[in-house]
Amino acid sequence: MTSSLLTDLYELTMLRAAREAGVADRRCVFEVFARSLPEGRRYGALAGTGRVLEAIADFRFDDSDLRYLRSTGVLDEDTLDHLAQYRFTGDVHGYAEGELYFPNSPVLRVEGTFGNAVLLETVILSIINHDSGVASVGSRMVTAARGRPCIEMGGRRVHEDAAIHAARAAYVVGFDSTSNLAAGAHYRIPVAGTAAHAFTLLFDTEEEAFRAQLASQGTDTALLVDTYDVEQAVRTAVELAGPELGAVRLDSGDLEEQAGSLRKLLDSLGATSTRITATGDLDEYRVEELADAPVDGYGIGTKLVTGGGHPAPGFVYKLVEREGSDGQMHPVGKKSRSKATLGAGKHAYRMLVGGRAHAELVLPGEAEVAEFERELHAELNTAGASADWGRTELRPLQVPLILGGEPVESLSQPELVQQARRRHQESLTELGLSPDDGPDGPVAIPTVTDGTEAARVLR
Amino acid sequence: MTSSLLTDLYELTMLRAAREAGVADRRCVFEVFARSLPEGRRYGALAGTGRVLEAIADFRFDDSDLRYLRSTGVLDEDTLDHLAQYRFTGDVHGYAEGELYFPNSPVLRVEGTFGNAVLLETVILSIINHDSGVASVGSRMVTAARGRPCIEMGGRRVHEDAAIHAARAAYVVGFDSTSNLAAGAHYRIPVAGTAAHAFTLLFDTEEEAFRAQLASQGTDTALLVDTYDVEQAVRTAVELAGPELGAVRLDSGDLEEQAGSLRKLLDSLGATSTRITATGDLDEYRVEELADAPVDGYGIGTKLVTGGGHPAPGFVYKLVEREGSDGQMHPVGKKSRSKATLGAGKHAYRMLVGGRAHAELVLPGEAEVAEFERELHAELNTAGASADWGRTELRPLQVPLILGGEPVESLSQPELVQQARRRHQESLTELGLSPDDGPDGPVAIPTVTDGTEAARVLR
């Protein structure tokens, strides 16, 4: 399937009107950014960039697409002929996948003619909004888990294809594995899973069910112990598997209380290394509450794949700069009351002091970066800067992804995912939040747009 | 692509273990139901059934699927050979797509051997949870709109494939059109759309942008009037298009206030039939607030496609009855503290009095239906029933969808969608809620499981 119909009709009617008015070839800069983070979120986690590259490569109109578009009666033959030849030929720069983002971080910049770049709006936003929504809450869950492994198992709670990419986004931000086979197949993410209540209920007794599972999967499997009576189930499980039993899974009830008594019971039966896995409507707050409970891992579903109460991070695709009738580039922006946009293609850096993130620096152009450094040093001198302040670095956040329509790197999707997973971990370390602060708080670092403001952050 | 990897690993490990234990061929009944509706929701709207039929037909393991599964090391060759031959050969009964549902409504019943039916859990739940989540909130929006047309335009806020099926679900519950081209192509849903702020910003002046759009799309188009100054934009629009101007679109600010002054302005300029379309983060509550404003239609996005705060309706796929070692069918159910399930494949009817829905009747078997009718009549006689009570009917809710692995009807997806749209409208009429009651309230009709209880509902 091509990706070209994952698009809103108005992109094609705008293309038609712009071509008829002779302005479709004006050079344009579109930016993708979110105006704010959800209340309480300290940072966002960008995911989906690798999938955007794939979608742009597949963005062409085949015969069946064109037949359908003709049938709508909205496009003329000239526009349809143009679409038949369509390929994206512009440039895309963006934050590396897995990178953190903050309010107004320009996570993608698409440059090309209006006609070439306007068509990508919907598919880019769908991917970045969905994947980043999952990644942003997933990262919080991994932090709350404090190194205990997390399994993504929410596929059944979301659209069947979204499930695959939710698993992908979760892995990018540090989940260890997924229950979703398609995600395993496409992205080489480790898959995990054991058995459902249905399996226990299929047998005349729980003992028979456990025996069958152990015979098939070996003693290192996780047995589900809450179908009937938890204590009896655990006794049966250890009796059958011996102390080598891999894990027991709890999926209902008061997990904290149950985990405590389960641990005591397992220990008393000699199963001291048998792990306890908790599942059942967990989110980052529940995981946080279980920090002191003897839980060895989490299976997380609904709250992860639906973005933890914030399913759509609000990324928009805005025209910020375009060629005018004078042939020059001009910053542009909507001026009506709410939703005003800033204009001008922006450059972004993370300001680090001694390797620790202090601000998200978003500047309109290269010249402003030099100007910023000058201002910053002047300010630092004035304020009598400490040695630390001298160690200020600017880490560039935008990398070239597509130039002249061609991808800059030719990594496979599994390689892109591994790269993103490393990037996320490094950026999180740079941010230096502690799990002990809890999941919520003010935005971790400010977005600043000039040197004076940046120097103020350092003081 | 096959649908077989849209599955959690544990379904395959359960299959393997059940086959090795010699119980994979036990006959089973699985049911899909939601234990409750979200707080304040009066009913749910079932969607996705037509897509489930398609997914079951495509559920087979091809060479590349099997290669991947082999690489996981979790399945043996015997299980892989079995999967290579897998086809669903059982029966599926379910509520018609578009039907309303209530707590514990058995919206799908899947019957087959354990090995045959257990594999469908994830893909069925993904589809039904996603599509019904969108349909359930969409139905509330359509009611709040009181006949004014609603356009689905949320594709950019959700996963790119979920976007297609969100549009489909919205159309099932009465939306008039979608901006999503793939939904238009696959399901023959009318597509709609005009222009974005980027189009206005592309031109040196707003006037040039309007002129270009009108030249390309004709005067019946909708012009976006809030890029700069709304009043000036409207004057320009009517000057260029004349009073035949189709519509103006408002996307930001206080929509209620703006719609009022916009209507006055349009009327004063002679554009008395120009429509006002409101867009911008609308939900059923905002639409309700705009009931008295001179708005002629709504464009609805984020809150619709993300399920209006309840993205996952909580449908589960539970084993409720299975063959035992005695060769007889036995009801089964999980017994641990929360999440207990009832057991036994259930039959469902809507109890109508004079054509108006009064209860959702969920009974364990055919015999219980006769028993119910007997009890009901006895109760009615005792209570001195009114003439109305005599007009009690039971409308069967479950229809055969797949028998022996074969679909019962061979309708195209666009035909299924039209059928579902009619069903939804009819069931909603039967329920008889008034938009004046507002969107929220207690569940509209109780779910009852015996005749005495049903008679109590009628009193």
Of B129, B311, B325, the CB nearest to A156: B129
pLDDT at A335: 61
Q: Is B459 on the interface with A (CB under 8 A)?
A: no
pLDDT at A368: 77
Q: Which two tokens stand for residue B239?
A: 């000057």
Determine what percent of chain B is predicted with pLDDT higher than 90: 82
pLDDT at B266: 97
Task: Tell how strand A222-224 and strand A247-250 pair up.
Answer: parallel
pLDDT at A389: 65
State the ipTM, two decimals.
0.95
Of B17, B163, B334, the CB nearest to A212: B17
Measured between alpha carbons, how far is B372 from B362 in angstroms, rounded to an integer? 10
Cα four-point dihedral sign B366, B370, B375, B380:
positive
Residue A250 main-chain phi, psi, to 5 deg: -110, 130
Q: Does domain A194-278 have CATH number 3.40.30.10?
A: no
| B 97-136: CB under 8 A from A | 114, 118, 121-123, 125-127, 129-130
Cα four-point dihedral sign B322, B325, B330, B332:
negative
Q: Is B13 on the interface with A (CB under 8 A)?
A: yes
Measured between alpha carbons, how far is A69 from A5 in angstroms, rounded to an integer? 9
Q: How far is CA A395 from CA A45, A354, A358, A359, in A?
A: 17, 12, 11, 11
In tens, the pLDDT along B335-352 reads: 654 444 555 678 999 999
Residue B107: pLDDT above 70?
Answer: yes
Q: Are B184 and A312 inside 8 Å of each other by CB?
A: no
Identity of the residue numbered A150? C
Size of interface A-B (CB pairs under 8 A): 325
Q: Which residue has the tokens 């797949």?
A: B402
In tens, the pLDDT along B35-79 reads: 999 999 999 999 999 999 999 999 999 999 999 999 999 999 999
pTM: 0.96
Instruction: With cut-offs at 50, 70 and 90, classify the pLDDT of residue B374.
Output: confident
Give A196's contacts in chain B (Cβ within 8 Å): 10-11, 14, 121
**Which residue of B lies nearest to A26 if distances are taken between CA atoms?**
B202
Q: Residue length, chain A?
A: 459
Domain boundaries A9-133+310-458, corresponding CATH code: 3.20.140.10
A454 sits in which H/E element = helix A451-458
Contacts 24+ apart (CB under 8 A), B192-195: B192/A9, B192/B151, B193/A8, B193/A9, B193/A10, B193/A13, B193/B153, B194/A10, B194/A13, B194/B221, B194/B222, B194/B223, B194/B224, B194/B247, B194/B249, B195/A10, B195/A13, B195/A14, B195/A17, B195/B221, B195/B223, B195/B224
Of A161, A253, A312, the CB nearest to B161: A161
Cα four-point dihedral sign A31, A37, A43, A47:
negative
Q: Is A328 on the interface with B (CB under 8 A)?
A: no
Give A311's contacts in chain B (Cβ within 8 Å): 157-158, 306-307, 311
Q: Is A286 on the interface with B (CB under 8 A)?
A: no
Q: CB-based contacts of A190: which residues, under 8 Å, 6+ apart?
A: A176, A177, A178, A184
Q: How far is CA B449 from CA A177, A409, B397, B400, in A?
A: 42, 62, 15, 22
DSSP class of B56: H
Measured between alpha carbons, how far is B22 from A23 in angstroms, rounded to an integer? 70
Measured between alpha carbons, how far is B224 from B221 in angstroms, rounded to an integer? 10
Instruction: With cut-offs at 50, 70 and 90, classify the pLDDT of residue B102.
Output: very high
Q: Are B5 and A213 inside 8 Å of each other by CB?
A: no
CATH says B194-276 is which class?
alpha beta
| B 33-62: CB under 8 A from A | 55
Q: Which residue has the tokens 């094609």?
A: A12
Helices (H), B106-150: 114-117, 121-145
Q: Is B199 on the interface with A (CB under 8 A)?
A: yes
Give B184's contacts in chain A (Cβ within 8 Å): 5, 9, 68, 72
Q: Is A391 on the interface with B (CB under 8 A)?
A: no
Domains of chain B by residue range = 9-133+310-458, 194-276
DSSP class of B384: T
pLDDT at B337: 45
Give B211's contacts in chain A (Cβ within 8 Å): 21
Of A20, A193, A319, the CB nearest to B216: A20
Of B181, B253, B335, the CB nearest to A7: B181
Q: Are A202 and B13 inside 8 Å of each other by CB?
A: no
Assign residue B99 a region (left: φ > 0; alpha: ψ between -120 and 50; beta: otherwise). beta
Counting as low any pLDDT under 50, the low residues of chain A are 337-341
pLDDT mean over B263-273: 97
pLDDT at A183: 97
pLDDT mean over B114-131: 98
| Nearest chain B Cα distance for residue A127, angstroms | 6
pLDDT at A339: 47
Cα four-point dihedral sign A148, A151, A157, A163:
positive
Task: Tell how strand B108-113 and strand B150-152 pair up.
Answer: unpaired
Q: Which residue has the tokens 């994947």?
A: A131
In tens, the pLDDT along A169-195 reads: 999 999 999 999 999 999 999 999 889
Q: Are B126 and A198 inside 8 Å of each other by CB?
A: no
| Nearest chain B Cα distance for residue A212, angstroms | 6
Assign residue A325 a region (left: φ > 0; alpha: ψ between -120 and 50; beta: otherwise). alpha
Neighbour count for residue A370 (Cβ, 10 Å): 12
Assign residue B430 a region (left: φ > 0; alpha: ψ between -120 and 50; beta: otherwise). alpha
Identity of the residue numbered B145? A
Q: Is A387 on the interface with B (CB under 8 A)?
A: no
**B96 and B421 in contact (C-beta within 8 Å)?**
no
Q: How far is CA B409 from CA B146, B402, B406, B412, B413, in A?
A: 34, 8, 9, 9, 11
Task: Give the CA angle between residues A66, A67, A68 to the nearest 5°.
Answer: 90
Least confident range from A30-39, A442-451, B170-179, B261-270: namely A442-451
Identity of the residue numbered A102? F
Helices (H), A218-310: 230-241, 255-268, 284-289, 302-305
Q: Which residue has the tokens 């109305």?
A: B388
Q: Is A378 on the interface with B (CB under 8 A)?
A: no
Neighbour count for residue A39 (Cβ, 10 Å): 9
Q: Is B340 on the interface with A (CB under 8 A)?
A: no
pLDDT at B338: 46
| B 223-262: CB under 8 A from A | 226-230, 251-253
**B147 and B172 in contact (C-beta within 8 Å)?**
no
Measured between alpha carbons, how far is A277 from A275 in angstroms, rounded to an integer? 6
Q: Is A5 on the interface with B (CB under 8 A)?
A: yes
Residue B308: pLDDT above 60?
Answer: yes
pLDDT at A388: 63
Measured between alpha carbons, how far is B453 from A176 in angstroms, rounded to an integer? 49
